[in-house]
Each structure stands twice: as structure tokens, then as C-alpha cells.
Amino acid sequence: MGRLSSVFSLSKKITAFFLEYDFVAEPIIQARAVEKFYTQPDGNRIEVIAPVDLDVQPGKIITLLGPSGCGKSTLLRILTGLSQPSSGEVLWHGAPITSQNAGVAIVFQSFALFPWLTVLDNVEAPLEARGVPALERHKRALRILDTVGLDGFESAYPKELSGGMKQRVGFARALVVEPEVLFMDEPFSALDVLTAESLRNELLELWLSKKMPTKAIFIVTHNIEEAVLLADRVIVLGRNPARVRADFPIELAQPRDRKSPRFVELVDYIYKIMTQPDLALAAPDAAAVQKPARQKYQMIPHARVGGIAGLLELLQDRGGKEDLYRLAEVLIMDAEDLLPILDASVLLGFATLNEGDVEITADGTRFAEADILNRKILFRQAALTHIVILQQIDSILHAKTDHSISEEFFYDILDEHFSEDEVQRQFETAMNWGRYAEIFDFDRESHRLTLAEPVGEPHPPTTAPVPS
């Protein structure tokens, strides 16, 4: 990939020094008890991030993993100084960080390029914003475009480029400011599998060959394999609110082999952490022990009934039990898609999770083997036994004489506990499950829920009478 820039040589020596003397190096960024909450229009506070302590040390690629919507991007923005925590502080080399911090740059999943500017102008833009003179910024932009393999594309516009090329521009625009810490928010998620793999390798090559003066890389991802491929250190966040569930080093040499036993073991371990939200992996600190846990409203995982049924059928087909890592491979799904389906199956009592294995329960087996009508009945029974919001809807619809209620009522309940986006997602999932189970009908025009006809008890599959 491209040639080495002589301008980087001094920075390279500094980087090498930091890498070599990593064990005595001071953290570049220190987050101390950073917490984030949003205040709803009714004054209710939604805590997105519980107080978190986190250091970014030089010489490391750190990956931040966690389920979708858990607060990864929010935490990234706080660490860069772009967003303020609601409480706690972020220090940059020991002093409070500011939103104008010159030492960070961010690569976004959506590329976030200026469509009206050429590739070269896009890459020069952050230098211009920092007041770098025209000739100097032109030279630096050309050099970095060469480094990321965009030589010859200087005068192209973003719309003329493929996703992979756009993200190269995203890399170039971040690297051109020679950030001390390079932040990346799901940088490979919008790319196809092969392009993502090749860009990941190029990033690693740049980092390992020290072709960039960056001292630390912080990557937000929901892809477990990506985290194990790239990271020197993995941090796993839990959700509602986000807190650090695990923080551990990955000592495998680069380049890493996805099939090596240690690699598979690490992927398996992370699945285990992410599927056991209540498992205490680290000793809780004294403060956490003393604080009584607040009763949380149940959060439904965002899985559709079809996904849950598909998973249960596959499990049943494979003898009722399977390793999560293998299941993800067979289904060609990453954790972001698979985990909500697993969580939903567990919540409904159709499966259990244990040490990274998923096992179908007796109820799950009955569901997987049932015909269409019986599936609805079994799902209804499971939903009304285990899902709080559906129990509430069912109870209110039975209590009201007109057996009907406005959706607003449930938005009001959910509003108390979740952010606006999450309220929408919770409601959509509850509608999907409740309508499938024929607990209620939902009219999208009047925005009202009405009691559905009861579907009865499960019955054995009917067989056609034998002709006499």
C-alpha cells in the first residue's frame, strides 16, 4: 500500500518509542465516571451510560463491542470531546478535553463525505478548518491519498466511488490530520464482506508498519470476529444503561488466523459475555454493591417471530443444542443479528443459554414441531407468561368495555423507561409479537389496539380421514 512519507519519520520514531515503552506510558485519554442521560420532554431522565471509567493507552488498538443501541457511539463521542458527559470528566493528557481537540479524528460508518467536494478537497477540508496554509495542505492531502491507495482519484467526486473507495477517503480525511488517537465508529459495517476484509487488512498494515503517527486506535464495532481480528484490547459494554462488562487483552500475534483454536476460543468467550447480561464477570466495586439495584422495566429484544421460529427449527434439527459460534457460522449472521433472536427465544422460555451454548427447551421443541395454528397458540401462551408489555396490553383490553385502547397509552408507559428511539423499537416489536399471537389487532390508521378473537388451546395436528 503506497509509499512511506518522510514527513512521518519523526512521528514514527515517537510512536516506536511509545510502543516499546508502553508499560510506563501515561494514558492519552482518561474517562472518569462518565455518565450520560437524556432528559425527556416530560422531565424524565433516561440513563444511557452508567458511570464508566476508561483509559486509552498508547500503542494499542482498542475495540469497543456491545449490542446495538447500547451506547457505543455515545461513549465514543464523549471520549473524543465531541459530546459532553452528563457527569464525570474526560481528560486529554491530564487536562479536560475540549470539542476542538486537535489530537483526535473520527472515521464514520456512513463515510460522511461532502458530496459537492472532490476527493482531494474532502481530504484537505479538515486541514483547512485547522488553518493549514493551502500549499501545505495540498501536499499533505496528496501524500495521504497515496498512502491509502487513492492515487489517481484526487479529482473524483464521492458519488463516482464505490463504498470501499469512499471509506478510503474517510480514512484519508481522518489520517491527514495525523491524529494521536484515531476513532472509528463501525467503519466497516456499511461495506460488503470482501471489501471490509481488505480494508481491515490495509488498516492493520498501516498500523503495524507504523506508516501513520497515530498512537492509538479506538474502534466501535458490533462484529465479534472483527474485534478479535484487530484488537490488542477488547472492551464489552452491557446495555440499559451501558457499563463495562469485560475489558481484556488479546495477545495473539498479527496476522491472526480465524481458525486457530485460541481465536475461536476468544470469539466464543465474547459470545458468552454478550449472551449472559447478568453474569458478574468482574468483581463489582464497593459503590455498586451498596447501591440497591433499581427495578428495570423489561426490555424486549428486537427479533421478529419468523427469526425466532427459524432459530428454533434449526436448533431442533441439530439435536436441540449448539455452540453459539457455530450457529452464527451456519446462519451466516453476525452477533448484532443473532443475539436479539437468541435473547428473545430465551425470554419466551423457548431456549436456554449456558456457557456459550444454546439449548432448546421442551416448550421450544413443541413450538418448533407445531403446525401454523398451534405455533400461534404456543407463542401466545409464552408471550402472556413472560412478556410484561403484552401482559399489560392483554389485561387492559379485557378490562375495557369497548376492548380497545389508543397506542398512546403504551408510549406513555414505555416513555418512562426508554429513549425515544427505543420506545419506538419496543412498540414495533411488541406489535409484531402481539399480532402474531392474536392477543390484539392493531389498526395503523386509527392507532388503536383492539382485542383479537381468542385462538384457543393447542390441539394435535389434524389428519385427513382414511377413505373407507
Interface positions with ligand ADP (CB under 6 A): 38, 48, 66, 68-74, 419-422
Residue placing its CB nearer to ligand ADP in the complex, 72 or 166: 72
How far apart are CB 237 and ligand ADP at their closest, in Å? 7
Helix ranges restricted to H, 21-130: 72-80, 119-129
The nearest distance, CB 103 to ligand ADP, in angstroms, is 22
Give whichever of 190 and 373 is closer to ligand ADP, judged by the CB atom. Answer: 190
Q: Which CB atom, from 41 or from 461, has the smaller least distance to ligand ADP?
A: 41
Q: How many CB atoms lie within 10 A of CB 298?
A: 12
What is the pairing mode between strands 216-221 and 181-185? Answer: parallel
Cα separation, 101 vs 143, in Å, equals: 23
Q: Which residues partner with 98 through β-bridges?
A: none
Residue 325 CB, nearest approach to ligand ADP (Å): 22
Q: Of 227, 238, 367, which Cα lies nearest the Cα of 299?
A: 238
CA distance 127 to 302: 42
Toward ligand ADP, which CB reaches closer, 119 or 430? 430
Instruction: Choose between 70 and 309: whose C-beta lies nearer to ligand ADP.
Output: 70
In the complex with ligand ADP, which residue's Cβ is closer, 68 or 118?
A: 68
Task: State the minimum distance, in angstroms, from the CB of residue 448 to ligand ADP.
Answer: 26
Least distance from C-beta 428 to ligand ADP, angstroms? 13
The residue whose grid cell reads 399471537 is: 437
Decide if 106 contacts 185 (C-beta within 8 A). Answer: yes
CB of 57 to ligand ADP, least distance (A): 22
Q: Closest distance between ligand ADP and the C-beta of residue 70, in Å?
A: 4
The residue among 71 and 103 lying less far from ligand ADP, judged by its C-beta, is 71
- Residue 199 CB, shortest distance to ligand ADP, in Å, is 20
Whether omega before 255 lies within 30 degrees of 0, making that bond cis, reads yes
Nearer to ligand ADP, 257 or 420 (CB): 420
Encode burial over 340-365: b for 16+ CB neighbours within 10 A, e otherwise.
bbbbbbbbbbbbebeebbbebbebbb
Q: Decide if 303 contacts 344 (C-beta within 8 A).
A: yes
For cell 413450538, name the residue.
367
In terms of C-beta density within 10 A (0-12 exposed, 13-18 middle, 19 or more buried), how is residue 462 classed? exposed
C-alpha cell at 325: 459460534
